[in-house]
Amino acid sequence: MPSYRTPLSRARGLGAAGHGVGHWIGERVSAVALVPLVLWLVFSFVRLAHADHAEAVAWLRDNPLNPVLLTLLAAVSFWHMHDGMRVVVEDYIEKVSTKATLLILNLFVCVLAGGLAVFSILQVALGGQ
Amino acid sequence: MTDATRGPRERPLSPHVQVWRWHVTMATSILHRVSGVGLYVGALMLAGWAVSLARGPEAYAGFKAALGSPIGQVILFLLTAGVFYHLANGIRHLVWDTGRGFGLKSANSSAWFVLFFTAAATLVLWGAYLMGMI
């Protein structure tokens, strides 16, 4: 079967939608990273279920693995959920202005909440509180 | 040709959810999206937890009290189920991405396995919590 794509289009590899497979691959890579991170989070929250403030702070300070994994979990989660919610909006919202508004809102919410989470974790871990 | 000048005719629509008999793979597909949106809220709560921890003992106690309220416990229970479901079904999707497991039989049995795992893991965790083992 002959290919009707131009050599430039093939070399760019962006496909019919114009943005290639980067988004799709990013969603998968973050998913793979989240498998062990989420299992670790469930395990950690089981341990922290009855912890008061001092015990929770100690958990973040005493072992460097905990703040590092929690920071990674927050960063990768907010990246992954941005990718996921983006697809949901693109699938269900037809009106261009509403779609654009929701996509931007999704990005801002994820970056803001992710930033707050990561900053707070580091602040506690490094002894600011 | 005359049709074109009168605007578009009623076009036949493809069958949608209200005509298909519900099947377990349909349910697991939409549940993946539903649980994903639910976990979006859960991640915002995780950020709230981290912020309350950084703000001090009072804010942290307030956050814990909200989670301990009946509504908070129901939300936490649903989030637990959502985490286990999205985790197990996400792994199912990753296996599919390698091109395996698309057969009718294996897609059906993996769907039931994911549902069974979600129920079992959620009930074991909450059972242990309610019996004071956690």
Would you list the domain boundaries of chain A?
A: 21-125
Q: Are the C-beta atoms of residues A105 and B60 closer than 8 Å to each other?
A: no
Contacts of A81 in chain B (CB under 8 A): 36, 39-40, 43
- Whether residue A76 lies within 8 A of chain B, CB to CB, comes out as no
Interface pTM, i.e. ipTM: 0.88
Per-residue confidence band for A129, with pLDDT thresholds at 50, 70 and 90: very low
Is residue B102, in this structure, part of any structural domain at all?
yes
DSSP string, A50-86: T--HHHHHHHHHH-THHHHHHHHHHHHHHHHHHHHHH
- Whether residue A42 lies within 8 A of chain B, CB to CB, comes out as yes
Contacts of A35 in chain B (CB under 8 A): 87, 90-91
Instruction: Determine which of B30, B41, B44 to mutate to test the interface with A (most A C-beta atoms within 10 Å).
Output: B44
Write the CATH number for B69. Answer: 1.20.1300.10
Interchain contact, B93 vs A85, CB within 8 Å? no
d(CA A14, nearest CA chain B) in Å: 20
Interchain contact, A60 vs B53, CB within 8 Å? yes
Is residue B14, in this structure, part of any structural domain at all?
no
The total of structural domains in chain B comes to: 1
Q: Is the model more confident about A18 or about B80?
A: B80
- Whether residue A71 lies within 8 A of chain B, CB to CB, comes out as no
Q: What is the pTM of this model?
A: 0.88
d(CA A17, nearest CA chain B) in Å: 20
- Whether residue B61 lies within 8 A of chain A, CB to CB, comes out as yes
Is residue B104, in this structure, part of any structural domain at all?
yes
Q: What is the pLDDT of residues B3-42, one digit of tens each?
A: 555 667 777 777 776 777 889 999 999 999 999 999 999 9
Supply the pLDDT for residue A121: 97
DSSP string, B46-105: HHHHHHHHHH-HHHHHHHHHHHHSHHHHHHHHHHHHHHHHHHHHHHHHHHHHTT-S-SHH
State the amino acid at position B126 in one-letter form.
W
- Whether residue A125 lies within 8 A of chain B, CB to CB, comes out as no
Task: Show contacts of A39-42: CB within 8 Å, 24+ apart.
Answer: A39/B87, A40/A69, A40/A73, A41/A70, A41/A73, A42/B83, A42/B125
Is residue B48, in this structure, part of any structural domain at all?
yes
**Separation between Cα atoms, residue A62 and residue A70, nearest integer Å:** 14
Residue of B nearest to A58 (CA): B53
d(CA A115, nearest CA chain B) in Å: 9
Interchain contact, B53 vs A114, CB within 8 Å? no
Range of the domain at B64: 22-130
Is residue B69, in this structure, part of any structural domain at all?
yes
A68 pLDDT more than 60:
yes
Interchain contact, A46 vs B134, CB within 8 Å? yes
Per-residue confidence band for A22, with pLDDT thresholds at 50, 70 and 90: confident
Q: What is the pLDDT of residues B76-123, one digit of tens each?
A: 999 999 999 999 999 999 999 999 999 999 999 999 999 999 999 999
**Separation between Cα atoms, residue A48 and residue A58, nearest integer Å:** 11
Q: Is A21-125 assigned to CATH 1.20.1300?
A: yes
